[in-house]
Structure 1
Amino acid sequence: MPLVFQEIDGDLFSVASNVSLAHCVSQDMSMSKGIATLFRNKFGQINELKNQNVSVGGCAYITSNDRHIFYLVTKEKYFYKPTMKTLESSLRTMRDLCIKNNIHHLAMPRIGCGLDKLNWDQVSRLIQHIFEEDDIEITIYTI
């Protein structure tokens, strides 16, 4: 079954506990602003994420109960801005991790488009293109 992609208004953290989550971070794992702060406070494990030593364009992850939490590393420092190229690389890495870990439900905010200032229409098309052949349901939450 191919990708099911939807956008809904709601709280990302209200999804079922077996739905994996994703968001963008910097390589330094600062997570000091925006929704990243909520991820940091809710899931912690910052040292584990840092120890993965993921480069820009990669994807770190942790597990929490029945779900994976993906950290798309799209820039070097928290005050830098990502590019569509680094976001694409991170998304492709996350896609491979989803396949490897048999993940079929993923929820995320409008990644790269809050503090990072990327264009949501472009990001949305990119996500749908990368996952178009995959058996996965992706829900984008707007708070």
Structure 2
Amino acid sequence: MDFKEIKRDLFTMTEDYYLAHCISSDAKMGAGIAVEFRKRFKLKALQDAANRSSLEIGKCYKVGRALNLITKSKYWHKPTYESLTQAVVSMKELCISEGITKLAMPQIGCGLDKLQWGKVREIIKEAFDDTEVEIIVCTL
């Protein structure tokens, strides 16, 4: 695993990067960076799935280049480190099964969700330690 933190707009990453972010299982995506993800990656199918209550907390769902980590049930809830860890592990499994080797993400779980980046960074590094995945965390 190659892990870097850089100052850059996440959405300026090249097309060969998959972009990850956290959402709730109701897939509202009405605030924060999720709004941009919803607009840019046409996540209506994900919202339709949420309306059928089929998005599972702790799972990662791929839609195009967007990796959507489900870390809580409702948009107003806060994730736990456990639910985030489960979603990160799910993302790792998805990367391995789909041959994804380049990921970019914001400081997931740390904006509106209020988790501590130091802990989240360690969760990501530990999960991906034995992989060849390049991870770039974009901050502005």
Superposed CA RMSD:
1.1
Q: Paired residue for 2:79, among 79, 82, 87?
A: 82
Q: Distance in 2 between matches of 1:40 and 1:131?
A: 26
> Match for residue 14 of structure 1?
12
Query: SS at the partner of 1:106?
Result: strand
**Do the aligned partners of 1:49 and 1:61 also contact (CA within 8 Å) in 2?**
no
* 1:111-130 matched pairs, under 5 angstroms: 111-130=108-127
Which residue identity is paired with 2:78?
K
TM-superposed deviation, 1:59: 1.2
Gaps of 5+ in 1: none
Query: SS at the partner of 1:33?
Result: coil
Please state if 1:57 is matched with 2:58: yes
**Do the aligned partners of 2:20 and 2:105 also contact (CA within 8 Å) in 1?**
yes
> Match for residue 25 of structure 2?
27
Query: SS at the partner of 1:61?
Result: strand
Query: SS at the partner of 2:131?
Result: coil
Q: Distance in 1 between matches of 2:70 and 2:40?
A: 19
1:80-138 deviation line (CA, Å, top 9, x unaligned):
00000000000011100000010110000000000000000000011000000100100
Which residue identity is paired with 2:102?
H
TM-superposed deviation, 1:69: 1.2
**Do the aligned partners of 1:61 and 1:71 also contact (CA within 8 Å) in 2?**
yes
Query: SS at the partner of 2:67?
Result: strand
Gaps of 5+ in 2: none
Q: Measured at CA, do residues 25 and 116 of structure 1 come closer, stay the same or move farther in structure 2, by a change above 3 Å?
A: same
Structure-2-length-normalised TM-score: 0.94
Query: SS at the partner of 2:28?
Result: coil
Please state if 1:72 is matched with 2:69: yes
Structure-1-length-normalised TM-score: 0.92
Query: SS at the partner of 2:33?
Result: helix
Q: Distance in 1 between matches of 2:3 and 2:48?
A: 30
> How many pairs are equivalent?
137
Instruction: Name the % identity.
Output: 39
Q: Distance in 1 between matches of 2:48 and 2:79?
A: 19
**Do the aligned partners of 2:26 and 2:47 also contact (CA within 8 Å) in 1?**
no
TM-superposed deviation, 1:139: 0.2
